Every structure is written in structure tokens, then in C-alpha cells.
Amino acid sequence: MSKLCIRSARVLSPADGLDETGDILVEGGTIARIGGTVSCPGAREIDGRGLVAAPGLADMHVHLRDPGQTEKEDILTGCRAAAAGGVTSLLCMPNTSPALDGPEAVEYVRKKAESADARVFPAGAVTKGLRGREAADWRALKAAGAVALSDDGRPVADAAVMAAAMRAAPEIGLAVCAHCEELSLSAGGKLNEGAVSRELGVKGVPAAAEDCGTAREIALAAAYGVPVHICHVSTRNSVAMIRDAKRRGVLVTAETAPHYFALTERELLRRDADYRMSPPLRTEADRRAVVEGLRDGTIDAIATDHAPHTPREKAGFLTAPNGAVGMETSLAAGITYLVEPGYLTLPQLLEKMSAAPARILRIPAGTLRAGGNADLVLFDPRERWTVDPGKLHGKSRNAVFKGRELTGKVKLTVCRGRVVFRDL
């Protein structure tokens, strides 16, 4: 059995109440020993001094594009990108081609992911073909290995179908992840509706398009007393509604993505389609509200909405599809834009990137304990590096942090006890 010993790292696992300097011994796929000084004869040794060892990150919002759009990404390259970002578990969205709306498609993903560099947990579609009208067979999706339901990329157009999914999901053992967007308000919009869309003379997507969707999902969760998870929160009013709903005891959870806490619509002035995504980058007031939502616990989790598109597709500012890749920069973006300015502590950031998503999805991730899965990330919390899209491990290059200097560099990622990324 292969043995790996990480020596004298800051071992940090918020869910385990762990923050101490010590060793970690990995044997096979499990953590054999953790904390203190561990004797490990015959093990490959890694010097962890000055580095942080944490549970592998769990990214609860990823587009792997497989099946059907493998020129953008495939399951294996997407998981290589995950490994480079310290992500060892991810939820992949069902807007593939064909969609993950039946057991065969979910089984295809599970099977192909067996040899991948990260654990892949599929989300099945709420509706057939993600058309928003006709319910998919949710029990069959669960039986095939789905852990969540979502029509991400689009909202579930029919509120009654969404209500039925939200009511059935807890019984079946699935989470429901909602892409909140009122299509009648967002149709034809290319970026946030506001100063920048007016300056560029381009049709905008109003914040209200997202807020109407958020309001509907909260109303359904409140009416039926069932959970709902709100994807990629980007507006101040959505943050406020989620905060209020939580105070009232509604079972709502929420995620945001690094671009929403780090960037604003002003990035679009460069007319670079890599900064176009759905929902769009918003105003500085929205960005600040997202940060405050993370700070006060309104927003539970940070996920990337990793959405690869080819350079060719992204060449036209207004014709390009929405989305940006993010798994290789999310930890560094969190350290740079949340921890360094003092909005979150490093343990709080790690909790939102590992334990919180694991709890929401009920997947075995986000912990670091003896006898548990050997899924971990070792990173330098101080190293500064410049994001070079040419050096990304996924297939696509549409990275919004390109050219930026970030703090925090992943040095080693271990998934199922195997070293899947190394920069040491």
C-alpha cells in the first residue's frame, strides 16, 4: 500500500474543530493518522512547513460539458482542473448534450468519473430536456447516482413543477439547486442592466430578473416547509431576501461564486466576452452585499459555476455563450478578496468551500479525520502568483482572473489517497 506523509503543516479542518501544526499520514485511500508527530517509515514524505493542509474543496456548481460538448471540457479534463484548484469533490450540472435527465446519462457520468482526478457527484435535471415543463423521473435519477436536482443554465419555468420537485426531493434524498432567473425580464440581455450596459449601448439583464426567481423559490420553500438551495447569488436584493428568509426559518441555503465577490460590471467595458456569464457581473453595491452576505452567514457556500467555453466561442463579445472557468482560481480568489481584506478568516473561507457544500448536498466531503477519506489540499496561503490562462489544466481558457496576481497557491492535492496535483 502506498504511504504519504505530510510533515508539520497547519492542519485546518473547521468541521472537525482542527487547527494545529502536525503531520498527516495517508495510507491507501484513507487518512491513517492526523495531528501531532507521526512516525511513518517507508512513506513518501512531503515537507508541509509554512503550508496549510485542509479537506479537499467541494465545488457544488460545475459544468463538465460531458456528454456532448467535449470540445469545451470533458469529465477527465474538468477533474484535472479541479485537482489543480484543490477541489476533490464536485457537483456537475445536467445541462449537457444529451441532458442528465435520465438514469443512463447519470450512469455514463458516474462510470467515466471513476478514473478521474476528483469525485464527481451528478445533478440530475428537474425537467425533461431542461425544458422547464415536464418532470424528469427523479427517483430513477437518484437510483443512478444523482445527489441533486437542477435545471441550471435555465430556471424551471413551471412553478408547479419546481414545487413538486422541492417537495419530493427530501423524501428521495436529493438537494434542489435553483438557477434563479425570470426569463421574460432577462431575454436578450448580455450584461447587467445599468451604467455599463447603457454606456456600451447593449441590452441588459436587470437585477430584478434574478430577484424574481429568488423570491419565487423562497416562497415555495416557505409554503411547503422544504429546503431549497439558491445558486450563484449576485444581487443585493437576493442577498436581502435570503437573509430575511433564514431569519423566518425558511430552509434556504445559498452559494455565490468568486467573480461576484471580486468583480463588477465595469470589467465589461473591455468588451471581453470572458466576463460575460449568467447571472452577469453586477454593481459595486451588489458586490459589497454579496461580501456582507458571506460575512454574516446569509451565503453558506462558495462554488465556481465553472463554465468552460472555447476561445472560438468566446471571440465575439455579444455572440459568445455565458460562463467562465473557475476551479483553478477559486481558493486563491477567496484568500485574495475575502481573507486578505479581513472579511472572512481562513477557516471560515475553507468552511464555505468544503464543509458547507458537503452538508447541503449530503456528500462525504469537507472533513479531515483519521479513518476518513484521504481527500485533501495542501496550499501556501501566502504565495503570490499571476493567473496565466495558457497554464490552466482544463480545456478552455475563459478565466476572469486572467492576468491578475492572486495570493494562495495550491501545492498538492490528494484525492482517494492518490496525488492528483503537485506543484512542489
The one among 13, 192, 214, 278 contacting ligand DOR by CB under 6 A: 278
The one among 48, 55, 122, 323 contacting ligand DOR by CB under 6 A: 323
Residue of 385, 392, 233 lying closest to 310 (CA atoms) = 392
Q: Say which residues have a Cβ less than 8 Å from residue 411's Cβ, sequence separation at least 6.
A: 51, 378, 379, 380, 422, 423, 424
Distance between CA atoms of residues 140 and 248, nearest Å: 34
Distance between CA atoms of residues 18 and 16, nearest Å: 5
Under rule CB under 6 A, how many of the chain's residues touch ligand DOR?
Answer: 12
Tell whether residue 209 is a contact of ligand DOR (CB under 6 A): no
Tell whether residue 101 is a contact of Zn ion (CB under 5 A): no
For the segment 280-319, give every residue that binds ligand DOR (CB under 6 A).
305, 307
Counting other chains too, the contacts that 169-172 makes at CB distance below 8 Å and 24 or more residues apart are 169/138, 169/226, 169/227, 170/226, 170/227, 172/138, 172/139, 172/142
The residue range among 13-21, 161-169, 217-225, 320-328 that interacts with ligand DOR, by the rule CB under 6 A, is 320-328
The one among 13, 77, 88, 95 contacting ligand DOR by CB under 6 A: 95
Look up residue 355 and give its DSSP letter: I
List the catalytic residues. 305
3-state class of 192 per DSSP?
A: strand
* Binding mask of the shown chain, residues 326 to 355, with x at each position contacting ligand DOR by CB under 6 A: ------------------------------
Q: 87-92 and 57-62: which strand pairing?
A: parallel
* Binding mask of the shown chain, residues 130 to 169, with x at each position contacting Zn ion by CB under 5 A: ----------------------x-----------------
Distance between CA atoms of residues 178 and 386, nearest Å: 33
Report the partner that residue 322 touches, choosing among Zn ion, ligand DOR, none (CB closer than 5 to 8 A by kind): ligand DOR
* Binding mask of the shown chain, residues 120 to 159, with x at each position contacting ligand DOR by CB under 6 A: --------------------------------xx------
The answer to whether residues 196 and 230 touch, using CB atoms and an 8 Å cutoff, is no
Q: Say which residues have a Cβ less than 8 Å from residue 216's Cβ, sequence separation at least 6.
A: 159, 162, 180
Contact footprint for Zn ion (CB under 5 A):
152, 179, 305
Residues that bind ligand DOR (CB under 6 A): 63, 95, 152-153, 179, 277-278, 305, 307, 321-323
